[in-house]
Amino acid sequence: MPRWVNRPEGSNWGDFGADDQIGRMNLLTPERRRAALAEVREGIAFTLSLPLDYPGAMIAMRKPPRLFVEQLDGEPAYNQVNDHCSDVMCDDGVVLYTQFSTQWDSLAHMGQKFDADGDGLAEKVYYNGYRADEHLLGPDHPEGPCAKALGIENMAAAGIQGRGVMVNFKAVYGKEYFWVGYDEMMRTLEAQKVDVQKGDFLLMHTGYDEEVLAMNRQPDKSKLDLTGSVLNGNDPRLLKWIDDSGIVAICSDNLAVEGYDWNAPPGADHPILPLHELCLFKLGIHLGELWLLHELADWLLAHERSAFLLTAPPLRLPGAVGSPATPIATV
Ligand code: UVW
């Protein structure tokens, strides 16, 4: 049985195959990776991850990582020695919220209430028609919590490496809170001579990362909420451009790539994060958030460049809906 008979307007469900789970990452072909390698001229690498204990405290429901140590032979497995050898050994575990710090959203991160099966009633459904409770299993399910489809391991297995391009909103709009629609995006791309190609990762620098670092693990949420540029998910021309551009991902130094429209009228028939709806639900475009971009963005601006090789795998962690990332850009 097909999972859906209705596909959302403007979606690409089925275009990459009936059971596709990686969306636009299908565009990362060997030719495109070779083109990305050609962007490496200096051999300088930039680490695009915050230390994973930043922002430092809970700014959504997510908490900082907690390390722990197990017992081995009745002792904590840390600085441990035994009588049979000269070795000293440490081991540890971690409780890690997959989206606390520098992260990837998998396509399981956000779905919509939508009538995919054509029975006249909306159900909870995700990219390519995968379903809540059948594929996305909650904590009450004997096998849950687990994304049996669309989990981040699918992205990890796809070899996340390609051509990245930087759009530097901070350089144009400063660190003030500013909504970027189609016109502002086009103006900035043109001014910075950013040539966005099909299969590219679009990175956007807003200055939010510098504020997070400056807060030294004591985040001031009310200040961060009003820091830097955010994409305007309510601008249909911007959404159309994202679709037409052929980009595989949008990665930002801020919390959610787009702005939260707190003034939107309440109602169950529209998303609060329309760009998430477009990217994660309709088109299979992954979102990267809380990336550390200021050093790379400054370097690119100073050298009148915008493109680079990006290598950014998530953890190959079966069933997870997000993942920490330690992306590397090489220029
Ligand atoms: C939400 O906060 C809902 O999502 P994200 O982590 O993608 O910003």
How confident is the model at residue 61, as a pLDDT? 86
Strands in the chain per DSSP E: 45-47, 66-68, 71-72, 75-76, 93-95, 103-105, 112-114, 123-125, 136-137, 146-147, 161-168, 178-180, 201-205, 229-231, 249-252, 286-289, 307-311, 322-324, 328-330
Q: Give the tens place of pLDDT for each residue, 250-295.
A: 999 999 999 997 777 777 678 999 999 999 999 999 999 999 999 9
Q: Are 219 and 53 in contact (CB under 8 A)?
A: no
Q: Which amino acid residue places its CA nearest to atom 7 of ligand 1?
A: 256
Index of the ligand 1 atom closest to the CA of residue 99: 6
Q: How far is the CA of 46 from the centre of ligand 1 (A)?
A: 25
Q: Which amino acid residue places its CA nearest to atom 8 of ligand 1?
A: 256
Residue 314: is its pLDDT beyond 90?
Answer: yes
Q: Per-residue pLDDT averaged across 230-238, rounded?
A: 97
How confident is the model at residue 267, as a pLDDT? 74
Q: How far is the CA of 76 from the centre of ligand 1 (A)?
A: 37
Q: Give the tens place of pLDDT for each residue, 49-90.
A: 999 999 998 777 899 999 999 999 999 999 999 889 999 999
How confident is the model at residue 270, as a pLDDT? 85
Residue 310: is its pLDDT beyond 90?
Answer: yes
% the chain with pLDDT above 70: 100
Question: What integer best gives the mean pLDDT of the chain?
Answer: 96
Q: Alpha-carbon Rg of the chain, whole angstroms?
A: 21
Q: How far is the CA of 106 from the centre of ligand 1 (A)?
A: 11
Q: How far is the CA of 256 from the centre of ligand 1 (A)?
A: 5
Q: How far is the CA of 286 from the centre of ligand 1 (A)?
A: 12
How confident is the model at residue 58, as a pLDDT? 76
Q: Which amino acid residue places its CA nearest to atom 5 of ligand 1?
A: 256
Record the tokens describing residue 238, joined without a space: 């911007």
Index of the ligand 1 atom closest to the CA of residue 103: 6
Q: Which amino acid residue places its CA nearest to atom 4 of ligand 1?
A: 256
Reported as a pLDDT band with limits 50, 70 and 90, residue 1 is confident
How confident is the model at residue 265, as a pLDDT? 74
How confident is the model at residue 192, as a pLDDT? 98
Taking CA atoms, 329 is separated from 42, 56, 106, 165, 255, in Å, by 12, 24, 21, 10, 20
Strands in 2-70 per DSSP E: 45-47, 66-68
Index of the ligand 1 atom closest to the CA of residue 287: 7
Token pair 């016109």 in the structure block, residue: 183
Reported as a pLDDT band with limits 50, 70 and 90, residue 197 is very high
How confident is the model at residue 60, as a pLDDT? 74
Index of the ligand 1 atom closest to the CA of residue 322: 6
* 146-147 and 161-168 beta bridge pairing: unpaired
**Pocket-forming residues, ligand 1, beta carbon under 6 Å:** 60, 99, 105, 109, 255-256, 287, 289
Residue 244: is its pLDDT beyond 90?
Answer: yes
Residue type, 62: R
Q: How far is the CA of 1 from the centre of ligand 1 (A)?
A: 32
Q: How far is the CA of 245 from the centre of ligand 1 (A)?
A: 23
How confident is the model at residue 323, as a pLDDT? 98
Query: How far is 14 from 272, CA to CA, in rounded Å?
Result: 25
Strands in 108-248 per DSSP E: 112-114, 123-125, 136-137, 146-147, 161-168, 178-180, 201-205, 229-231
Measure CA 237 to chain center. Answer: 22
Record the tokens describing residue 44, joined without a space: 């300088």
The three-point CA angle 48-52-54 to 5° equals: 95
How confident is the model at residue 277, as a pLDDT? 98
Residue type, 41: R
